[in-house]
Structure 1
Amino acid sequence: MELVGSPLTATHAHPRSTPTNFLPAISTMASSYKNRFPYYPLPQSFSLPWAPSAYYRTAAINPTLAPFSGSAQGLTPSKTLPFVSNRTSLFTRYTPDDWYRSNLTNYRESETSRHNSENLRVDTSRLIQDKYQQTKKTQTESTKNLGERVNDIDFWKSELCHELDEMIGETNALSDMKRRLERALAETEAPLQVAQECLLHREKRMGIDLVHDNVEKELFTEVDVIRSCQERMQRFLDRAKAQLASNRAAQHEVERDLANKQTAYRIDDKCHHLRNTSDGISYHRGVERVDATISVPDSWAKFTDDNILRSQSERAASAKLRDEIENLLVVTANEMWNQFNSANVAFTNRIAETADAKSKIQTHLAKTLQEIFQIEMSIEAIRKAIRDKVPPLKVAQTRLDERTRRPHVELCRDSAQLRLVNEVHELDETIQSLQQRLRDAEDTLQTLVRSKAVLEHDLAVKANSLFIDQEKCMGMRKSFPCTARLVGYV
């Protein structure tokens, strides 16, 4: 059963079809009318339609007693009424009851039409009011949803802005740390070159001083320490470059998401402030059937949350790497400084040992030179003594020779003869002993000269070693970088 006044199925929405003739049918009239007026059925075009305009068109025809002509509008010659006499046209077709019934019927139908029209107007007014409230409610809910969406976008936009600022700061800090690491790595080249040059200079030591001493060991250790520090710095430098690339990738994603959020915020904020009286609104037929969405609220929020989480993860890794680089710089600087000091201590000790050896050699050389001078004086004295023994020997031998010329018995082996013979023997022995002593002295002199040459050579070697260690090596090692330079601050 349908309810009267329903917006869609109300009875007044489908009015009853009105009859084509408001008067009763001819067949219902009294039989007396049938005999007085010949019955000629009217053509279909003469039937009275329900539309008022048909009445006006029908009433516009002027009545006449003449038969219808062939040119009558809407009638063909075959359907033209036959001639009706004036007498016949005076007879009526309906009774008064028919006339009253026709009026009552028209009244009832008019009242029904008005009632249906009134119901239609009331229901239409109610429908308009309901649809207005529904439209207003729907628009209010849409505006509210847009406002909530704008708030959500603004929240995530603020989160992205904060994360972007943090990421930019972390990237800048890591870039500064990378530059410090590069400067520190560059500063290690000078100490490494100094250590290698010290080793090369010490290869120029001569003779016995070309030893694998503590200085050389410390220099080799220093080279190994510096190269180890360089390798670790280079590894961390590569990690810093890779981390910077990851930071920039995460920053790019955050920036792109932020740019999209700003665009969406501007669009949704504009939509949120659109009203029925706003400018720029127009029809867009079929736009509700176009579904260009590619995400839902959960996936939309998860996308931004994933970008923020990725950025936070990269920031944490970057901060950890910065701490590791800071510790590395401190550790490597301490290691290089400690090894540098150890090498310097070894140099100092070696220089002291070399200087002491040189001093002792100089002392021995001075004594040797003094002894050479003394032995040369002794040799000269021995030679003079030998020369001094020649005249007495000649005298003794001459005496003996002269005494051999004594005649006969005068050739007596007297005490003078014996003494002369003993004198000659003594002088010969003296000369031989002096000559032996001269040879010994000369041998000693040669030994002293060789010792002097050895001492002089050793002194030159020590002087060369001392010059290399003290002047060349220690002179270069005065320019070792300070701690501030080794940690990359300068």
Structure 2
Amino acid sequence: MQDYYGQTMTGSYFSAPRMGTGATFLPPLESTMQASYKSYAPPFIVSQSLNLPWKPSVYYRGANKLSPLSQSAPVANPSILMRDDAVYRVPPMLPSNRTALFSKYTPTEWFKSNNTNYRTSDFTRSAAQRLRDENVRIAHDTDAKTFKNQHESSKNLGQRMSDINFWKSELHKEIDEMQKEINDVAAWKQRTEHALRETEGPLAIAQECLFNREKRQGIDLVNDAVEKELLKEVDTIKRSQDQLRKMIDRQSAQLSMNRAALHELEKDTADKWRSLNIDGKCHQLHNNSEGLAYFRGVEGVDNTVSVPESWAKFTNDNLLRSQRERNASRGLRGDVDSVLQETANDMWTQYNTSNVAFQGRVAETLDARNNIQAHLAKVLQEINEMENNISMMRKALQDKNAPLQVAQSRLDSRTRRPNVELCRDQPQHRLVREVSEIYETVDILQNRLRAGEAALQELVRTKTTLEHDLSVKNNSLFIDKEKCMGVRRTYPTTTKLAAYRQGP
């Protein structure tokens, strides 16, 4: 419930809650702040046109009729109430109204409230200004820091590109050197192969002399000095061929190692070329570049596989490996040249020794027909069994082709596994071991096959010797002097045996 309180004639009547005793009531800060900026009409003037239950005209009329409230107060001159201006007078104040006057704010409180609002305003504005200044400073600092970070990132990218260009130039130099070395080794390999082909003539000559001399009959079929020297010549030629084949194998292996090193260099160069293009594009990016986009969480992705030290070590290891292979290739070429000279000299020395023995054997004639028939039958039987054995060995070799193709196909397919999936796992070890075992098996079978073929050849030669010994006894001197010495005149020179015409 609300009560209505009166004021002086310059005031208006208002409705307000009953004030508590003993406490000072201040309006909220917001309403006070707003009131300080509002402009009102002259204060406390109430229009009488308002149709309110407490408008002054009603109250005044009640006062004019001497309400009980007005009669309770003593009146010195009652006739004064009948005057015209009595209608506009405020009725005497009751004790309750007088008490309400003491519940209002004092001027001191009013000034104190204003001062409080002023101080609050100053403090709030100062805090806001400090916040604005701090925000401006932070904005400038963050802009400078962002620009600095971007500049440092661009600088690091540029330095990285310089490092990549340095290693790429070193790789290109080494690639050129390795390519030249591969060409040199290939040329020396061709020279060695040509020298190996040149030994086929002397070997054929020596073997042909042996075959021809096996045609001697009777006592002429002896293991004389000529035959020994011819066999020694065959052994010398075959030993030279073995040395040349080993050199060819070594050169083939060295070529494989050189090409493998070259492949690593080219692969490393291609990777650095791609990395250089990527870093170049990154280095050219700026805040106004086209194609910029957000990649959320990319800063948390770490799929790197190396650090700058291991990255540089990887390329350096490739370069060192290539240099080692090139040094090994140079040493191998020196060994090949020595072997070519040694084999040519050995074969030519033995050729001259054989010729001397031939000349000493021309005047000698011996008969060696004892037990030819019995031995010839045994040789024929052994030839048949050896041919069957050779056929069996060839079939065994042919049976190893399919397992070898399966294992190598598996290995070849597994080399196409991507990235880190290219793992040397247990299947890889087993496949490599399987291929090695098949190769070892094939080598064993081939060696046995070659041994069988050599044995068969020896059997055939023995058979031929026995058959010829039975039929060509009288032309032994013709064989040694005319036929054998005639064909040996086509023996190649040392220059051809060393294959100097095919040299690099």
TM-score bracket, shorter-length normalisation: 0.5 to 0.7
The equivalent residue for 1:39 is: 17
In structure 2, the residue matched to 1:365 is none
TM-score under structure 1 normalisation? 0.57
Give the SS at the match of 1:139: helix
Matches within 5 A, 1:273-288: 273-288=284-299
Checking the alignment, whether the CA contact within 8 Å between 2:216 and 2:474 is kept in structure 1 is no
TM-score (norm 2): 0.56
Cα distance 1:122–1:238, how it changes in 2: closer, same or farther (>3 A)?
A: same
Partner of 1:377: none
Higher relative contact order (CA 8 A, sep 6+): 2
Secondary structure of 1:122's aligned partner: helix
Q: Cα deviation per residue 1:265-312 (whole Å; 9 max; x = unaligned)? A: 211122222222333322222111111112211222222222222222
Q: In the TM superposition, what are the counterparts of 1:8-407 in structure 2 within 5 Å?
A: 37-39=15-17, 50=30, 85-87=54-56, 104-206=115-217, 209-348=220-359, 350-351=361-362, 353=363
Q: Quick one: which amino acid aligns to residue 184 of structure 2?
A: A
Q: Give the distance between the partners of 2:172 and 2:315, measured in 1 at CA.
A: 12
Distance, in Å, in 2 between the alignment partners of 1:228 and 1:49 is 117
Identity value in percent: 49
Letter in 2 for 1:245: S
Which runs of 5 or more structure 2 residues have no equivalent in the other structure?
A: 1-6, 20-26, 40-45, 60-99, 366-471
Query: Secondary structure at 1:288's aligned position in 2?
Result: helix
Q: Aligned in 2, Cα 1:259/1:86: closer, same or farther, shift over 3 Å?
A: farther
Give the equivalent residue in structure 1 for 2:497.
486
Cα deviation, 1:411-463, whole Å, max 9, x if unaligned, reads xxxxxxxxxxxxxxxxxxxxxxxxxxxxxxxxxxxxxxxxxxxxxxxxxx999
2:256 and 2:339 mapped to 1: Cα distance? Answer: 21
Q: Secondary structure at the match of 1:325?
A: helix
- Paired with 2:337 and 2:109, the residues of 1 have a C-alpha distance of 118
Letter aligned with residue 128 of structure 1:
A
Distance in 1, matches of 2:138 and 2:122, equals: 23
Structure 1 residues 192 and 102: alpha-carbon distance in aligned structure 2, compared to 1, 3 A threshold = same
Structure 1: 5+ residue stretches without partners? 1-30, 42-46, 68-82, 356-460
* Kept after mapping to 2: 8 A contact 1:168/1:251: yes
- Taking the aligned partners of 1:161 and 1:125, their CA distance within structure 2 comes to 53
**Matched positions, count:** 327
Sort the Cα spacing of 1:220 and 1:38 in 2 relative to 1 into closer, same or farther, 3 A.
closer
Question: CA RMSD, aligned part only?
Answer: 4.1
- Cα deviation for residue 347 of structure 1 reads 3.3
Please give the alpha-carbon distance, in whole angstroms, between the structure 2 residues aligned to 1:194 and 1:51.
130
How far off its partner does 1:137 sit? 1.7
Alpha-carbon distance in 2 for matches of 1:110, 1:200: 129
- Pair 1:211–1:290, CA change in 2 (3 A): closer
Contact 2:215–2:473 under 8 Å retained in 1 = no
1:238 is displaced (CA, Å) by 2.3
Evaluate the alpha carbon distance shift between residue 317 and residue 86 of structure 1 in structure 2; reply closer, same or farther with a 3 A threshold: farther
Alignment CA distance shift 1:277-1:51 (3 Å): farther
Partners in 1 of 2:481 and 2:179 — Cα distance? 52
Q: Which amino acid aligns with 1:165?
A: D
Tell me if structure 2 keeps the 8 A contact 1:65–1:85. Answer: no
**Shift of residue 480, structure 1, vs aligned partner:** 2.1
Q: What is residue 374 of structure 2 aligned with on the other side?
A: none
SS at match of 2:305: coil
